[in-house]
Structure formats: structure tokens, C-alpha cells
Amino acid sequence: MEHMSYHDDRSARSGSSDADRGNGSVSGSNRQLPVGSTRSIHSASAEDDVDSRPYNEADYDNGHGQVHPSGSGRSVRSDTDSDQAVLQTIQSPDVPPTDVLQFLRSHQSSANLQQEALKVLSNMQITPQQQIDVVSQGVIDEIIRTMKRHTHDSSVQLSACRAMWNFSSTPEQQIAIADAGGIEAVISAMSESPGNSPLQEKVMAVLSNLAALESNQIRIADCGGVTSIVTAMNKHAENVNVQDKGCAVLTNLASGDSSVKSAISEAGGADAIVIAMSLHPEDIELQEKALRALRNLCANDEDNKTLIANVGGIDAVIYAMQVHRDEAKIQEAGAWTLSNLAVVADNKVTIGESGGIDVIVRAMWVHAAHPGVQEWACRALWTLSVNPHNKALTVEVGGISAVVNAMAGHVGVATVQEKGCGVLSNLAANSDQIKVKIVEEEALDAIVMAMVLHGDNAMVQQRACSVLKKLAYGPNMQPMHAANVGALMSTAAENFPGCRRDTDYVLALFEQYPEKYD
């Protein structure tokens, strides 16, 4: 079960040139989505995605190609007929979870029976109401007590973690587990069996869900969880399951408090993520989770942006986008990560020199219908194009037409319109040749449509007016007049006084030589 949190660097600060500088940071909130909800991106928020599916032994690979069987045919560590008979009472497909809880309480001295009861709990398809009932009757406390009674039995610990995972998908359950000492219990299990890769993986899956809450993130870090996670990733570097869960939990831990981000970087978390990407380049799910982990780790943290670049993170992101060019989720996460990393001036240079602009523009063409890819590609280009060399590269690889196509293909998405205008504004800055090229590539139609459809959106209007001011140059004035730019800018100035400086400039040009544009 994994939970995903989202952060981004978004706001812009203007500088001495007339280029918009996409180099600010806006932190997001950490909220819990209802189980089964779908993911969507909002402009300044974090996002959680908790998988509520119960553990199924048939789906579990222990990292050595051995898949545990599921259902009633599983092996029971019991030597007595009486134990076998007792087990039959909880192995019925219709057994209620409260009966299994009572069984767990009634056989505390037998590690074998405790483990089998935990397996039943972990495999159960439990309704929300059943979850509420069994949690209210103390199932979480009993699971943790079982872990404490059998500290040195790794099989019991693993079954307990699987069961706990099955009861960790809601905020209420996550709080209950933390309050009952579950965080300390699972971290202790990691420390007790560092070489047990299935146990390490399942503990990190539990911690990933618990880290959906910021209060739990801090507690996990305070209990040494960050160090334990990074240690597990380093020790089991070849095990893709461990790496997958490690990246997932680091994603969530890095989504909130800055002190937790610092703990991750100090423990070598950035290095571990990049190594995971390097050792498992073909694994799509791992690459996506690793990209999200890097993205969260560097969001609103200048030191981590530099650290990630220094450990090879930029190359890893670009390589993932190159290898998985047809995977929209990789392209979106990669562009988002590059957008965050590019806030640092040195990283802008590195990304440009390493082929980052090429992969971003290619992603825009390959995934032209995907709004998330288009939004984050535009955001990344907006930030990167502040650099003069990157501006030239963006134009050279077809960035203008890619941005215009994005705006035309997603007219209803305000963020695509806003950031698209921002990119074009940066590209047009201080270059008459590029100003003309932008108009020749039919950008005016896209800009005008953005202003018409998003007339009540201040940011879209401001970005549109800004780029129109930069485009207001000799050969462009006639097509701008024909596109009714003057009337749209007058309306924008009336509705949004912040646009007035740009609109006054363009309207004055129209008034100065009206006969030229009629």
C-alpha cells in the first residue's frame, strides 16, 4: 500500500530583464484523500493516494523469485492436530474479522497460531464498516502486542506488518496505529531483521501509509525511521520491491515538515533514490516513485536541490524520461522534478546542457493530449528559459510550437494557459527575431483564446498581457491588431489593475499609428 504526496515550486519573481522568472517556491498542504479517490493536480497543494487493497500472499514475491501461496492452502507452522483443528475456526471465507481478533487474543502464547491469525487478517477483504468495528474493538493494539510478545520471530513480525498494512488506509487508522506504538514497533522489526528483505519491504509499506499524516512523518523521523529506511535501501539495493517501497515512503516523508527533509538528505536518502533509479532503469513503477521522491525532497529546499544535482539526480531524471518516453506518468513526474530543480541557477545550466529541454519538448509532442504532462512541461520550460542559453535551446528544439500546441489543445486548463504565456514571454524577451517567430507560429490565436476563455482568471490575464507587451514590435503590430488584441487588453486592464502597465504600453502603440493597423 503506497501513499503519494505532491509538492511543487511555482511562484514567479520578476527581475531586471523583461523575462518572467519562474524561480519561486510555494509549499503545499498535506491532505488525505478518501480511499479509492482519483488523483488530480491542484495548483498549490499536496496530494495523497492511499491504496486500500489488502495484502494478498499470491501477489507477494519475496525478492528471490519465490511467491508465497495464498488462501487456505498455505503452510501452517504447527505440529499438533489440536492446533490444526483450532485454525479451522478462522479459516472459513466468511469468518468475521472480530472473530479473528478474539482468536488472536485467546492464543497469545503460540507464535504459530498468532501468525496464522495475522495472516487471515492481512488477507481479509474488509468493508469500511467492518474496519471501523474491528479497529474500535482493539485490533491494532492486539497486532502491536503480538509484535512485542514475539520480537525475535521474524515470521510473526512479517505477518503482523502485513495485517497492520491492511488497517492503515484511513487517517483514523493511521492515528490509532501511531498512538498505540505502531511506528516504534515496525521500526524495531526493521532493526531486528536487517537482512530480511520481505520484512523490510512490508515495514516500509506500513510506514508509507502512516506518513500520509504530517504528525506521523515527524514521529517516524524522531524514532529513527528515516535512517532505517535508507539503510534498508542500501542493503537491499538489488531488490526492486524494497527500492519501490523505499521510494514510496520517502516521497511521503518528504512532503511535509522541512526537518524531515533535512533528516532524509542527511541520512543519504537522495543518494539511495538515485542509486535505485540507476540499478533498476527499466522498472516503470520504481522510476515514477523515485521521481516523485526527488521532487518532494527538493521542493522548497534550495540545499536539497543542489544536493540532488551533486549526486547525479538530474542525469537520472533525464535518463528516466528518455527510456520511458511513452509513459505519461514518467514524463509528468520527470518534468515536475526538473521544474523544481531548475529553481537553482546552476541546475538550470546543468539541465540544459544534459538534454533536459529536449526531453521536455519531446514529452509535449508525444503526450499532447495529457494535461498533466503539458502543464508541468510548460512550468519546467518557464523556469528554465530564464537562462539565455536555455532560451536559445528551447527555440532551437521547437519549444515555441510545442507550447502553442499545448495551449491550443488544452484551452480549458488555466495553468497550461498561464504557464504557456509565461514561457512565450521569456522566449520573446530581448529578441526581436524570436518575437516575430512566435507570432509566425500562430501564438496570437492561442493567447487570445486564453484571454477570452479565462477572462476571470487574474494570472492568465496578467501573463497574457505580459507576453503581448513583449510581442508588440514592428512586424507584429498588424497581426496583433487584426487579432483584436487592443480590445482584450482594455478589458483586462479594467478588470485587473495589475495588467495596466502592460496594456497601456500596447494600447499607446496602437493609438500612435492607428492608420498602420486598420
> Is residue 419 in some structural domain?
yes
> Is residue 92 in some structural domain?
yes
What would the mean pLDDT of 269-298 be, rounded to a whole number?
Answer: 99
> Is residue 318 in some structural domain?
no
User: For position 27, what pLDDT does the model report?
Assistant: 33
Query: What domain range is 145 assigned to?
Result: 57-168
18-27, 355-364, 432-441: range with lowest mean pLDDT: 18-27
Output 421 or 109, whichever has higher pLDDT.
421
What would the mean pLDDT of 503-518 be, rounded to a whole number?
Answer: 82
CA distances from 279 to 62, 203, 320 (A): 18, 22, 12
Q: How many residues does the chain have?
A: 518
> Is residue 257 in some structural domain?
no
User: For position 517, what pLDDT does the model report?
Assistant: 59
> Is residue 304 in some structural domain?
no
Give the 3-state DSSP-derived string for 100-140, with helices as H, strands as E and coil as C.
HHHHHHHCCCCHHHHHHHHHHHHHCCCCHHHHHHHHHCCHH
Model confidence band, residue 127 (pLDDT cutoffs 50, 70, 90) = confident
User: For position 512, what pLDDT does the model report?
Assistant: 83
pTM summary value = 0.85
Which of 126, 152, 168 is at the close of a domain? 168
What would the mean pLDDT of 226-235 be, rounded to a whole number?
Answer: 99
96-105, 204-213, 484-493: range with lowest mean pLDDT: 96-105
Output 137 or 86, whichever has higher pLDDT.
137
Contacts 24+ apart (CB under 8 A), 23-31: 23/342, 23/343, 23/383, 23/386, 24/343, 25/299, 25/300, 25/343, 26/300, 27/299, 27/300, 28/255, 28/299, 30/5, 30/212, 30/213, 30/214, 30/255, 30/256
Which of 109, 139, 168 is at the close of a domain? 168
User: For position 87, what pLDDT does the model report?
Assistant: 83
User: For position 50, what pLDDT does the model report?
Assistant: 35
Question: Does 322 score more than 70 pLDDT?
Answer: yes
Helix 371-384 × helix 388-396 angle, to 10°: 140
User: For position 92, what pLDDT does the model report?
Assistant: 83
> Percent of the chain scored above 90 by pLDDT?
77
Cα torsion angle, 44, 342, 364, 285, sign:
negative
User: For position 84, what pLDDT does the model report?
Assistant: 75
What would the mean pLDDT of 52-81 be, rounded to a whole number?
Answer: 37
User: For position 81, what pLDDT does the model report?
Assistant: 66
For residue 43, the SS3 value is coil
Model confidence band, residue 73 (pLDDT cutoffs 50, 70, 90) = very low
Question: Does 83 score more than 80 pLDDT?
Answer: no
> Which residue do the cell numbers 533525464 mark?
318
What would the mean pLDDT of 51-57 be, rounded to a whole number?
Answer: 35
Spatial separation of the C-alpha atoms in residues 286 and 240, rounded to whole Å:
8
Question: Does 30 score more than 50 pLDDT?
Answer: no
Spatial separation of the C-alpha atoms in residues 103 and 176, rounded to whole Å:
21
> Is residue 234 in some structural domain?
no
Note the pLDDT tens digit of each residue in 304-315.
Answer: 999 999 999 999
Cross-strand pairs, 486: none
Note the pLDDT tens digit of each residue in 386-429.
Answer: 999 999 999 999 999 999 999 999 999 999 999 999 999 999 99
Domain count, the chain: 2
What would the mean pLDDT of 181-193 be, rounded to a whole number?
Answer: 98
Which of 168, 188, 219 is at the close of a domain? 168
Note the pLDDT tens digit of each residue in 136-146.
Answer: 999 999 999 99
> Is residue 26 in some structural domain?
no
Output 266 or 514, whichever has higher pLDDT.
266
Return mean pLDDT, the chain: 87
Q: At residue 26, what are phi and psi to the nearest 5 degrees?
A: -130, 120
> Percent of the chain scored above 70 by pLDDT?
83
For residue 214, the SS3 value is helix
User: For position 80, what pLDDT does the model report?
Assistant: 61
> Is residue 138 in some structural domain?
yes
53-57, 87-91, 215-219, 400-404: range with lowest mean pLDDT: 53-57
42-46, 254-258, 512-516: range with lowest mean pLDDT: 42-46
What would the mean pLDDT of 428-449 be, rounded to a whole number?
Answer: 98
Note the pLDDT tens digit of each residue in 472-497.
Answer: 999 999 999 999 999 999 999 999 99
Model confidence band, residue 91 (pLDDT cutoffs 50, 70, 90) = confident
